[in-house]
Amino acid sequence: MTTHSPAPAQAARRAQLAQALAATGQPGVAIIPTALEVARNRDSTFPFRHDSYFFYLTGFAEPNAWLVIESSGRSTLFCQPKDLEREIWDGYRLGPDAAPGALGVDAAHSVETLDARMPDLLANQAVVWFPFATHAGLAARVEAWLQQVRNRARQGVLCPTAQRDVCALLDEMRLIKQDDEIATMRRAAAISAEAHVRAMQTSARLLRAGVDAREYHLEAELLHGFRQHGAQFPAYTSIVAAGANACVLHYRADTAALRAGELVLIDAGCELDGYASDITRTFPADGRFTGPQRDLYDLVLASQHAAVAATRAGARFNDPHDAVLRVLAQGLLDLGLLDRSKVGDAEAVVAERAYFRFYMHRTSHWLGMDVHDCGSYVEPGEASEATPERDPLTGQSVLRRPSRILRPGMMLTIEPGLYVRPADDVPEAFWNLGIRIEDDALVTANGCELITRGVPVEADAIEALMRD
C-alpha cells in the first residue's frame, strides 16, 4: 500500500455518504478519524493500521488524520503537516497542500488546526455524525467542539441538536463490495491460498526429512508467502495448530511439534491494501489421512459443500449454517459420535443443539476490510419481527430475528468444523481431532464464487499436493 491510492472509488463513496446524510432531510456533518498509533513499549509502536472507515473513504494510510464530510458534498481532510525533520525520522508525509490533488478532497488542513477549525465546520448544521464506540474519547471531543459552537449562539449561529452513528450508514455501504474492492479481495485470497499450499508442502517435506518440525515453521512459510506478494500484514493472528491444539478455537502458532499421524489446522489469511482474506485448511502433517481422520474430514467437507450450495442471492445469511447443521448432525450419528438412543434423529440433534459440543461456532461472518467485517446480520426491513425462542442448552429465552437476505457483492466466509475432545461417550479414534475448512465466498446472482480455492480442499487433492 502506498501512502495514498488513486481516488475515484473513494471520491464516489464520499459522495454516496454525503447523499445519505442529506437524505435524512437535515443538514449534517460526518467526522471520521483514522486509528491512533499505539505504543508497544518505550519508543516502539505497534505497526500502524489505519481505521477501516477512514480508509474506505480516503485511501489514505497515514496516521493522525481526520475526514469531515458535509451533507452538501464538501469534504475536508486534516492530515499531518509537512515537516522535514519528522519526515527524516518517520518517513514521507503527503501534507495538506498535496492532499486535494492526490485524494480528491475539496480542502485539506494541518491536523494541528483541527480543534480551531472544527467549530466552523459544525456551525449551522443540524446533525453531527461520527463513529460511535470505536474511538476512545471521540464523543468527549465532539462535545467540546459543540460547546464552542454553542458559545456563538448569541451571534445567531445554530448548533447541531442531534448526534448520530455514522457507522449505521457506512456499514451498509461496506456490506456490498464494489468492483475495486472485489478485485483486491481476489488478489488477497490468491496470495493466502498460495501461502497455504506452501505451508502444507513444507509440512510434508520436513516430516519426510525427519527434522524437528514445529508449528512456527509453518507460520514462517505463511508470513513469507504473504509478504513476498506485497500483502502488508496477516489479517489476524495466524492459527497453526498441531494435533490436539486444533480443538482450541483461538489457538495461535506456537512451538508444538508436527507429528506423522496427526492433523494440522491452519487458519491464516493476509491483508492486502486494506482487505482481509480468511482461509482454514486441515491436513495430515505427513500428507496421509488416517481412516478416522478421513471420515471426519469428509463429513466437514460434505457440510461445507451443502453450505456453498445454499449461498446465493435471495437466500438468508443463516441458510448456509442451517445446511451445515443438517449434514453434521446426520454424520455425527452415523460415525457414532452421538448416540441415537440418547439424542434421537438428525432433526432432534439440530433442534436440541446436541451437535454443539463438537461444533460451537457459527458457519459464516462477513468479510471485507475487517476480517469480521461490519454489516448487520439482521434484514433491516424485518428487524422488528422478533420471535422469542428457548435455547435448549441454556434454557434461556433468546430473540430470533429474520437473518439478512444475501445480495450480489456480499462477501462471507463458509467455515464449518468439528472439534472432538476426549470423552468416555465418544469413540477414542476421534479424540483430539479438530477440523475446520474455511473459504471466502462472493455472493452472485445465481450462487456464490469461492475466491480461495487456489488451495485444494478435497482430501485426495491435499494428499496429492503434499506428495509432490
Catalytic residue of the set 109, 275, 419, 440: 419
Distance in Å, CB of 413 to ligand GLY, minimum: 6
Active site includes 92? Answer: no
Closer Cβ to ligand GLY, 187 or 281, answer by number: 281
For residue 250, the minimal CB distance to Mn ion (Å) is 10
Q: Which residue in 180, 219, 214, 178 sits closest to 199, CA to CA?
A: 219
Q: Say which of 51, 70, 278, 370 is annotated catalytic.
A: 278
d(CA 113, CA 76): 12
**Is residue 106 flagged as an active site residue?**
no
Smaller CB separation from ligand GLY, 70 or 440: 440
CA distance 67 to 131: 12
Among Mn ion, ligand GLY, none, partner that 219 touches (CB below 5 to 8 angstroms by kind): none
Q: Residue numbers of the site for Mn ion (CB under 5 A)?
A: 267, 278, 413, 438
Catalytic-labelled residue, pool 181, 219, 267, 370: 267
325: nearest Cα among 416, 224, 219, 200: 416
For residue 64, give the C-alpha cell.
Answer: 493522525
Tell me how far apart the alpha carbons of residues 337 and 304 are, in angstroms, rounded to a whole number. Answer: 19
Q: Which does residue 245 touch among ligand GLY, Mn ion, none (CB within 5 to 8 A, set by kind)? A: none
Catalytic residue (choose from 51, 286, 319, 438): 438
- Please identify which of the residues 49, 227, 362, 365 carries the catalytic annotation: 365
184 binds, among ligand GLY, Mn ion, none (CB under 5 to 8 A by kind): none
Quick one: 151 or 237, whose CB is closer to Mn ion? 237
Active site residue 196: no
Contacts to ligand GLY by CB under 6 A: 236, 267, 278, 365, 371, 415, 438
Active site residue 251: no
Active-site residue, selected from the candidate residues 43, 85, 179, 212: 43
Q: Which one is catalytic: 372, 390, 400, 407?
A: 372
3-state secondary structure of 413: strand
DSSP string, 217-273: HHHHHHHHHHHHTT--EESSPPEEEEGGGGGSTT----SPBP-TTSEEEEEE-EEET
Amino acid at 385: E
Active-site residue, from 13, 93, 321, 436:
436
Nearer of residues 305 and 365 to ligand GLY, judged by Cβ: 365
Cβ proximity to ligand GLY: between 215 and 438 the closer is: 438
Contact 353, 297 (CB under 8 A): no
Residues 6+ apart with CB under 8 A from 415: 278, 280, 304, 361, 363, 364, 436, 437, 438, 439
Catalytic residue status for 216: no
Instruction: Report the residue number, 267 or 319, with the smaller CB distance to Mn ion.
Output: 267
Query: Residue 283 forms beta bridges with which residues?
Result: 264
For the question of residue 415 being annotated catalytic, the response is yes
Nearer to ligand GLY, 71 or 413 (CB): 413
3 state SS of 74? coil
* Least distance (Å) between residue 56 CB and ligand GLY: 21
The yes-or-no answer on residue 449 being catalytic is no
C-alpha cell at 244: 490436539
Which residue number, 216 or 236, has a Cβ lying nearer to ligand GLY? 236
DSSP code, position 357: G
Question: How far is Cα 465 from Cα 61, in angstroms, rounded to an integer?
Answer: 38
Strands 434-436 and 397-400: unpaired
- Residue 415: CB minimum distance to ligand GLY, A: 6
Indicate if 252 belongs to the active site: no
Cβ at position 269, least distance to Mn ion in Å? 7
CA atoms within 13 A on the CB side of 216: 4
Q: What angle do CA 74, 77, 79 make, to 5 degrees?
A: 170
Bridging pattern class, strands 439-443 and 434-436: unpaired
Rounded least distance, CB 76 to ligand GLY, Å: 36
Q: Which does 236 bind (CB under 5 to 8 A by kind): Mn ion, ligand GLY, none?
A: ligand GLY
Q: How far is the CB of 261 from ligand GLY (least distance, A)?
A: 26
Least Cβ distance, residue 281 to ligand GLY (angstroms): 12
Whether 43 sits among the annotated catalytic residues: the reply is yes
What residue 214 binds from ligand GLY, Mn ion, none (CB within 5 to 8 A, per partner kind)? Answer: none
Euclidean distance between CA atoms 220 and 240, whole angstroms: 10
Catalytic residue numbers? 43, 250, 267, 278, 361, 365, 372, 415, 419, 436, 438
